[in-house]
Chains A and B, each alone.
Chain A
Amino acid sequence: MIPLSEVQASLSLLAEALVGQPVTFATVDDQSGCWPWADEPSEGGVVLPATLHSRALYRTVLLHQLLKQASGGDDLVPAGASLYSRLFDLVENHRVTAEIRRSFPGASGDLGKVLEDAVAALPCEYAQVGTLEPVVATLRVLRLHTLGVLAVPDDDQRRTAAIQLLDQAQDTGATSRTSERIAGDLMHLLDRPHQGHLHTTALPGPESDREADGLASEATTGVSLDGGTPNEVVDGDRQGGGQLSSDLGDYEQAANETDDTERLPSGLQLPTIKADGTLPAKTRTFVYDEWDYHAGQHRSAWCRVIEERLVGDDHEFIAEVRQRHQPLRAHIRRRMLQLPAQHLVRVHRSLDGDEIDLDAAIEAVVDRRSGAPVDDRLQIRRDRAARDVATAFLVDLSASTSSPSVLPEPEAFEAVGDPMDDPMSYGPIWDERRTIEPVRRVLDVAKDAVALMADALHELGDTYAVYGFSGTGRDNVEFKIGKDFGDRASSSTWASIAAMKPLRYTRMGPAVRHAAAKLGAVAAQTKLLIVVSDGYPQDTDYGRDRNDREYGMHDTARALRDATNAGIETFCVTIDPAGHDYLRDMCPDGRYLVIDDVESLPAELAKLYLLTMGV
């Protein structure tokens, strides 16, 4: 079996290529939660199983769902457990299956395997519809037909007519509108005249539906793969189920009575894929000395730095950053045009060049007249010395970077009677009753700032890397790679930078040493290390006790000084208002910047970089 996490990155690109925009996947543990194994319509969005037998199967399931979604069927008939919704879903599945066979012939073989797999997963009694209530029996026959089971034993005229209606969805040029019409015709055929789905939405709400609906009582849930944040859970509100849904519940109840062994499909399971868990962990370990300020000596091999590549799936990240900071981005671009011109180096005695090298020409004439061999390298060439700058951004990922970047205005919130509901008790950002913008954390702003600079450096053609650091204790200094020097800027690297999240403490010294070591391995004339943090160095065992600020500060200062001695220019940017107190001592030659307003970090970081580069 192949876990989704293994193929997610390339499938995500395939999905974007097919529909022209980034697609976020939800995942379900059990494949019965999505087409073609699901017995009922799924909520909107692409839902893939956590594991499947092959990548080709993933590709086929993805293709089917994308085509179905792109046709806009969800807008015509919202997913639900009503009879009409289920019929529409069956027709849509049949239509899209035919479209795949027609337009994507290379996927046809895999499509057959997926359908076979879905048929094999059905209970063996599934095709025995003779004793079932007519509507339920028809639904089953139609579903079997969509799965490619041609030999459905059926002599019922109405069911035969239903299959003929269903097959109209396979016509070239059929759209979701065609499916809507066919679903309506099927309703008539089943003596359930349908007045259009608008009628059903006016009927009783989803709660009563769920009570009446024997099949669809569980919420459909899905979580994006970006770490399983609870707010991504999609609640399975079944809007528009209405009376028809209740009707269907009755039918299904009847079906249960006739067939107790029937394995009814349940709702989707809560996802279990977590970014920290099942995604492949590519870690390397490094050991560094640490400077003991109190003892006045290095502690040899004291810290273990665990380097790990980040993996993310937020492919919208860089586009959003560009959009959010459009004026600043344009400003940076204009300023970068003013970067010092690439100087030209005159290369004498060249075979080709802009002007004649007089000294070489005179020598050549003398040589020829004296009968000596003549050197024909007689030109002066002007070569351009390319920009040769490598920059590493080292971002503090300590837990404190999860703080909101902008503190809310207290007067904006009304007093609430129940003290437990007092928004100030929990912090106004968690007051769910209010419609407020998602809270941007300090780290979100820092990621914006670094991504903006990385994007600009990419355009400039410079070499750069984006790292994050945190950790707990000297044995576990976490060093996360968003983009390394050798990586090309691609969707996966931007998504990796987006995947940086607040972790634990701020053991800055070893992180600086490791970043400096990585910079040291890059062949560049100018090397720059920019540390972005939100507070002083701190860890559980970073000094005599947890409140020992001096130890961490001096260790970091020593690491920065060592980097400077190794030819690396360092700069620290902090958004801690108290930063002046310790950065003055920690950073060499005042190479630091304290920012009071977190939101100004992107602009300040850009300004700093350009100043450092001499613009």
Chain B
Amino acid sequence: MDGPFYLPLADEASVFEAAVAARLPVLLKGPTGCGKTRFVEHMAWRLGRELSTVACHEDLTATDLVGRYLLSGDETVWMDGPLTRSVRSGAICYLDEVVEARKDTTVIIHSLTDHRRVLPIDKTAEMLEAHDDFLLVISYNPGYQSVLKDLKPSTRQRFVSIEFDYPDVESEAVIVATETGVDHDTAVRLARCGAQTRNLRERGFEDGVSTRLLVYAGHLIMQGVAPRRACEAALVQAISDDRDMQTAVADIVDIIFP
């Protein structure tokens, strides 16, 4: 059975495998929609590991990750959170956009990321030792975070960092064509739209058009939507509300597609 498609752009897969072998936690840095999550899914499949993904948000607390007591009838019952379950079972726990979560979440993962590899659960007075196969992977996008949400050096320096960026036009065209089934020419045109638009990263939308959005546009085209209209819906409207910016991106699409 085929696993999730991922086109390696450099040596990220071998670095990840080496980190897994050495039981080192991994930090994936890169802009939105460049393939970080897909990379983790692909590697979990390749290594034959279970993957538990947590999309972090600003209300996510340490309790949400570790677990909590719930009321059941007249009793309180302890319920493991996704992190605890992964630590017990030896899964890969992927905390996506970890800086979005509250600060207490980054504190509880510290003891899991050094030689101790333990998870202290104060509510159950338990010091849970991590399964040999347990791996912690976190991701964040250094580009658009508020300074208050930046990853602290004390956390960052506990991880093996792998940096991601958007692929070059040819590689991105291969990804778009594989993911969506559009023909090569259309895929190249979509990839060119992405590459040109990313030149405007400093102009109000730091991430530019993501590979994910290009894939969306490709899917729309495969569903019979005209390429320009598909790009308008998936790219132009998605990246910015600034009218001038939308016009400029629409121009790029307009001149690249016949």
Interface positions of A (Cβ within 8 A of B): 9-11, 13-14, 16-21, 59, 63, 104-108, 315, 319, 333, 336-337, 339, 341-342, 353-356, 361, 364-365, 378, 382-384, 387, 456, 459-461, 488-492
Contact = CB atoms under 8 A, between A and B. Distances in A.
B199 A18 contact: yes
B251 A354 contact: no
Given A10-B248, A354-B63, A490-B245, A17 B196 contact: yes
- The 9 A-B pairs of least Cβ separation, nearest first, read A490-B204, A13-B248, A105-B258, A10-B247, A491-B203, A107-B255, A10-B244, A354-B63, A104-B255
Interface string B236-253: 000011111101110111
Interface in B192-249: 196-197, 199-200, 202-204, 240-245, 247-249
B252 A17 contact: yes
Contacts of A106: 253-258
B192 to A, nearest CB: 9
B71 interface: yes
B245 A460 contact: no
19 contacts: A14-B251, A17-B248, A105-B256, A106-B253, A108-B258, A336-B148, A337-B147, A354-B61, A354-B68, A355-B63, A361-B71, A364-B71, A365-B74, A382-B61, A460-B146, A460-B147, A488-B242, A491-B200, A492-B244
Contacts of B241: 488
Contacts of B146: 459-461
Interface residues of B, number: 39
Contact of B255 (A59, A355, A356, A456): A59
B150 interface: yes
A488 B204 contact: yes
B256 A356 contact: no
Nearest to A110: B255
A337 B196 contact: no
A6 to B, nearest CB: 11
Nearest to A109: B258
A105 B68 contact: no
Contact of A356 (B58, B76, B197, B203): B76
A456 B258 CA distance: 42
Nearest to B193: A17
B69 interface: yes
B204 A384 contact: no
B23 interface: no
Given A337-B150, A459-B146, A490 B71 contact: no
Contacts of B158: none
Contact of A13 (B71, B150, B244): B244
Contacts of B257: 105-106
A387 to B, nearest CB: 8
A384 B58 contact: yes
Contacts, number: 105
Given A59-B255, A378-B71, 15 more contacts: A10-B247, A11-B248, A13-B247, A14-B248, A14-B251, A16-B200, A106-B258, A337-B147, A339-B148, A356-B71, A382-B61, A488-B241, A490-B204, A491-B204, A492-B242
Interface in B62-93: 63, 68-69, 71, 74, 76
B253 to A, nearest CB: 8
Contact of A384 (B102, B147, B196, B249): B102
Contacts of A459: 146-147
Contacts of A319: 202
A356 B123 CA distance: 12
A20 B197 CA distance: 9
A321 to B, nearest CB: 13
B65 to A, nearest CB: 11
A489 B204 contact: yes
Contacts of B61: 354, 382
Given A18-B199, A490-B245, A460 B148 contact: yes
B214 to A, nearest CB: 15
Given A10-B244, A490-B203, A336 B147 contact: yes
A489 B241 CA distance: 12
A354 B241 CA distance: 37
A220 B53 CA distance: 62
A63 B254 CA distance: 12
Contacts of A365: 74
Contacts of B74: 365
Contact of A337 (B148, B255, B256): B148
A492 to B, nearest CB: 6
B147 A16 contact: no
A297 to B, nearest CB: 46
Nearest to B150: A337
A363 to B, nearest CB: 12
Contacts of A20: 199
A503 B12 CA distance: 56
Given A20-B199, A319-B202, A14 B148 contact: no
* Residue from the set A337, A365, A491 with the largest chain B CB neighbour count within 10 Å: A491
Contacts of A315: 203
A16 B205 CA distance: 14
A456 to B, nearest CB: 8
Nearest to B205: A490
A464 to B, nearest CB: 14
Contacts of A355: 63, 68
A100 B102 CA distance: 51
A267 B245 CA distance: 34
B204 A59 contact: no
Contacts of A16: 199-200, 203
A235 to B, nearest CB: 31
Given A106-B255, A459-B147, A9 B199 contact: no
Nearest to B71: A378
Given A384-B58, A459-B146, A488-B204, A13 B68 contact: no
A50 B258 CA distance: 28
A11 B74 CA distance: 68
Nearest to B202: A319
A376 to B, nearest CB: 9
A562 B258 CA distance: 61
Nearest to B253: A106
A489 B244 CA distance: 13
Contacts of B197: 17
Given A382-B61, A459-B146, A491-B203, A13 B245 contact: yes
A356 B247 contact: no
